[in-house]
Chain A
Amino acid sequence: MRYLAGILCILMISGCTRVPFQKTSFVPAGGVEPREVLENYRRGIPGHYQMLHTIMFQYGWNRVSALGYAEIDRGTGSFAVAGMNPVGVKLFEISGGKEGVTKHFVLEGLSGKGDFTSAMAQDIRRIYFDLLPVPGAEIMKKGSRILFRQADGGGVLVYTFAGKGWRLVEKEYFRDNTLRWRVSYYEYRQKEGKIYPWGIILHNYQNGYSLTVKVKEIQF
C-alpha cells in the first residue's frame, strides 16, 4: 500500500504525460557522420507548407483540445496560425515573423490569460523553426543519439538526432542548468519527397504546460 501511495503521490506531483505516438526506434550512432545527418535532414524537411492539425493543451490535469491550421515559411521565418474548436468556432488567429507577432483574433477568454499571443508565437517558433543547429555547434555521440549543443540566449540549446533515418527527435533548452522546455518529434512521415513529424509534443517546464500536436493534413 505504501508503494502504491508513493507512486500515486509521484504521479500527482509530476503530472502524467500521455504520449500518443510511437517511440522512435533507436539504432547505434557508431559509424554515422553527423554533418551528413544534418545535410540529409535539411534536404528532407519542407521550407514552406500548410497543415491542418489538432492541438491538445495540457495544464496540470486540465486538458483542452482544438483544431489548428498553420502556414509555416521557414525561409522567411514567417507563420500564420488559427485555432478553432471542433464545431468550427474560431478561438485565435495570429501571424508573425522572426521577431514580431500580429494578433488578428483571440477569443476574449484566452486573451485574458496573460500574453496569449506572444506565448503562442514563442511556442510556434520553438516547434517549427530553427530545426537545425548552427554550423559551429558542439557534436556528441551518445549511444544511439547524436547531439548538437549550441549557446543560445544565455542558455544552451541541444538538438538530438536519432532513429533509422537520423531525424530530429528532440530540441531541449537549458538555462542555469535547468531544462526550460523540450520539443519532441515523433513518427516522421514522407510526402512528395519531403518528411514531416506526424506528432509533436512541446513541454514548457517553466510555465508547467504541454502542447500535443497531431498533423491531419499537410500541403507543400
Chain B
Amino acid sequence: MVEGELLIRNGVVYDPINGVNGEKKDISIRDGKVVEEVTNPKVIDAEGRVVMPGGVDIHSHIAGGKVNAGRLFRPEDGRKGRETKTKVCRAQSGYSVPNTFATGYRYAKMGYTFVMEAAMPPLAARHTHEEMVDIPILDNAAMPLIDNNWMTMEYVKSGDTDLLAAYIAWMIKATKGYGVKVVNPGGTEAWAWAKNCDINDAVPYFDVTPAEIVKGLAEATEKFEMPHSIHVHGNMLGHPGNFETTLATYDLVKGIKPYRNRPTMHATHTQFHSYGGTSWRDFESKAGAIADYVNKNEHLSIDLGSIILGDTTTMTADGPMEYSLYQITGRKWTNHDVELETGSGITPFLYSGKSPVNTIQWAIGQELALLVKDPWKLALTTDHPNAGPFIGYPIIISMLMSKRRRDESAEDMHKVIFDRAEYSSIDREYDLNEIAIITRGMAAKTLGLHEHGKGHLGVGADGDVAIYDISPEERDAGKIQKAFLNTKYTIKGGEVVVKDGEVVATPAGRTIFVTPECDDKLTEEMMVKLKDKFDHYYSVTFNNYPVQDAYLPNPYEIKAPWRS
C-alpha cells in the first residue's frame, strides 16, 4: 500500500464481481484502496486498453519444502530462467521452479497480485512462510494439509465432528494457514507403508476410508464461518479411469450446507482427475462427464490444472502418485513423508504433443473450461508447476479465446486428439469478461477474498489493477497471449509495480491467514488427545510447533467465528 492518489483513466474495465463488462471507466485509488473519486492524482492513461482487477490464483505451488526440493534437485531448471539483478530486482533463476524473487516478478508481470500456496505441510509451515516472505509484490496465503493427519482420522473414525472442528481450528491457527487442504486423503498415510488407497478403501491401521475423511473435514470446516470450503485433491490422481472416483468424491459433500453462498468443496486441478479408459493404451478424456456434473450441481467449484507443453517439475503431497510417475519416466525422484500428517513427492516430467496421453491431457484441461457453462464455477490454473509453469497461463487464455488457435494446435498434436477427446468439436470462445472471471473474480469469491479487497475494483477494494496492452476488440491469439504475459501496468495497493512489462517496484506482500474461533471447552478436550500425540509421536515439542509471529511480518487476519 502506498499513500497518495492514482487515477486510471479511460480504460475498458472488466470487473465481473461488480458486473462491469467492458465499460469505459475511470478507476480512482487513494492510499492503496479503490475510492469513488480523487482530487489530485497521478494519472495513468489507459485509453482503450483492457483493465482488470489484479489476478487471483486459487492454486499454485510457489513456496515451501517441496517447491524448494524441486529447485534443489533441478539445477538444470534453475539455469533456464536466469535474469541479471537490476536496481529494483534480485537475480532470477528457474523456469518450472523459479526462485522466490522470480516468482513474484513473473506473476506481477502477468497482472496477478494474490497467489494461494496450495499445500503447506503443517510441521514444515515455517518453511512455507519463510519463502512467502521472500516472494515480492504478491499477497499470499497457504493451506495446511489436514487430511492424512492422525488426529483427523481418529476423530473421523469416532465421529466427533465438533472435536475435529476444534482440531482443524487449532491447526489452521498454529500454521497461520487459510483453510483445509486435502490431498489423496488416506492415500498419503498409506504411502508411509508404500501403499495407496482409493476412495472407499480402509486406510491401513486407521480403519477409516478416504470418503469418510473428506466428508468429516467438510462438515468440520462448515462449523466455522470459513471464507473457503475444503480444497480437495482427491484419490487416484493421474490414473486412467479415475473420473468415477472423482465424481464419487464430488458427491460426498452434496448434502452439507455451507455457511454462506459458496461451494462446500473446491476440487482442484480437475484435468488430472477427468480420465477415462482402463490403461494408458485406451486412455481418454472424460471432461464431458465431469463438466456435466459441475453444470448440474451447485455445491462444487473447480480449477483446471491445464497442461502447458514442455518440461516441468511435478510435486504434490500425493506421494504414491509421484512414485507412479517416476516409475513411468525413470527420471529422478524425491519423496518426503511427514510424520503424523502428510507426505510429498517430486519428479520432473515432459509434456509432449507427440505423446497420445499428454495430448489428451492437454485437451482435457481446455475442454473442462469450454464445457463448464458457468465460468463462475471454475478458475484458470496449471496447478503450477504440475501441469506446467504459471507463466503458461497466457497460452491457455489465448486457446480459450480462439477456436482457430485451438484448431492450429490440434494439428500439431498427436492425432488421438481427434478420436479420444471432444477438443476439436467445441466451438465456444471465451470473451474477456469470462477470462476476468476465471483469472480473478471466481477465485476471489471462492476463497472469500472479495470481502477483503481482492479480485474486484469496487469502492473499498485493494488498489490492485492490471492494464493489458490490447484493445477489447483484439482477436489475434498471439497478441492476446503476449498482452497477458506482460502487462502495460500492474498496480499493487495503488503502487505501480510493473510498467511496460518491466518490474519497477517490489513492495512486500501480505500474508493472509484465517483464525477459526472455537469454543474453549471443545479446544480443551481436543488438547488432551493432541498433547498425547506430541508427548509420544511427534519429533518436535508442542510449544515449538506453532508458527511464531516473526514469520509473518505483514500479516492480515480473517476471523472465522463458530457458527451458532
Q: Do A and B come from one complex?
A: no
Identify the B interface with A (CB < 8 A). Answer: none
User: Which residues of A pack against B, CB within 8 Å?
Assistant: none
